Amino acid sequence: MARLDTGRRDAGGPGADGPSGVGRRGAGWKSAVSGELPEGHRKSQAVQSMFDAIAGRYELCNTLFTLTLDRRWRAAAVDALGLEPRSEVLDVASGTGDLCRELAGRGFSPVGVDLSWGMLANARGGAPTIQADAASLPLPGASFDGVTSGFGLRNFADLPATLAEMARVLRPGGRVALLEVATPANPLLRMGHGLWFNHVVPAVGGVLSDSTAYRYLPRSVTYLPSPERMSQMMQEAGFSHVANRLLWGGLAQLFTATRSPA
């Protein structure tokens, strides 16, 4: 796999792990994500180390915990871009490359960017990848036709700065599709969803991967702004035609928008 190693060892802040130092910070992230949800630099460091730690079994857990629906949601995100084949698309928070593979399979040219060396080391599919913080992309302005992100929003420590970076690297008229989890409004579905994500996911995640991480991930939904606030933030970042759509009865949600002319 081609790897655009930008050499940005500072992406996670002081002491950030490099490609050979994945996990060097040890389990300090566990205390950071166990109590009150971390913010700012502390969040960034904890999220990076947590994904380093769970990278090996990330895709297996995702597939299991969403009963494979995650694949359909990523496909819906790529559909919603509405771009021509061969368009260049930056996948932000690309993780182990699921969305890059979906994009490549549809004839697009994806580039992945992620904070976690561990996730990038486990990436499959052959798309070029960059290790960097999405809030400070080492990429020229107006260099992509599309930007995607799958389940990244609640993990970003600085969402306004990240949205501004997404807008900056897009060509005017470029499209963005941001996929995230959601909480269903239907009371019955909401109850089942709560049981699944607050009880089954941490228990099974603890056996297959790491219980602290899979207790934190459902809690991290509280970082998500409301759809109205998120739309406002996207407009402030330089997007127009912002839309929010629920997928599968509100189990997931998709934000789409167009880069406004400069």
Q: What DSSP letter does each residue of 55-82 carry, written as one string? A: GGGHHHHHHHHTTTHHHHHHHHHHHHH-
155 binds ligand SAM (CB under 6 A): yes
Work out whether 98 is an interface residue with ligand SAM (CB under 6 A): yes
Tokens of 6: 């930008």
Count of chain residues binding ligand SAM (CB under 6 A): 22
CA 158 distance to own-chain centroid? 13
Member of 61, 83, 134, 159 binding ligand SAM (CB under 6 A): 134
Q: Restricting to residues 13-72, name those near ligand SAM by CB under 6 A.
A: 44, 47, 51, 62
Q: Which of 133, 210 has the CB closer to ligand SAM?
A: 133
CA distance 255 to 12: 27
Single out the residue of 151, 197, 214, 239 in contact with ligand SAM (rule: CB under 6 A).
Answer: 151
- Give whichever of 125 and 150 is closer to ligand SAM, judged by the CB atom: 150
The single residue among 17, 102, 114, 145 that binds ligand SAM, judged by CB under 6 A, is: 114
| Token pair for 57 | 């079994």
Stretch that binds ligand SAM, among 20-28, 132-140, 170-178, 246-254 (CB under 6 A): 132-140
Nearer to ligand SAM, 9 or 260 (CB): 9
Report the b/e string of 152-169 with b at 16+ CB within 10 A: bbbbbbbbeebbbbbbbb
Angle between helices 58-65 and 69-81 (to 10 degrees): 100
Spatial neighbors of 21 by CB under 8 A, at least 6 apart, are 117
Among 116, 129, 244, 256, the residue binding ligand SAM under the rule CB under 6 A is 116
Closest CA to 24 of 14, 32, 39, 33: 14
Note the residues at the interface with ligand SAM (CB under 6 A): 44, 47, 51, 62, 93-95, 98-99, 114-116, 119, 133-135, 150-152, 155-157
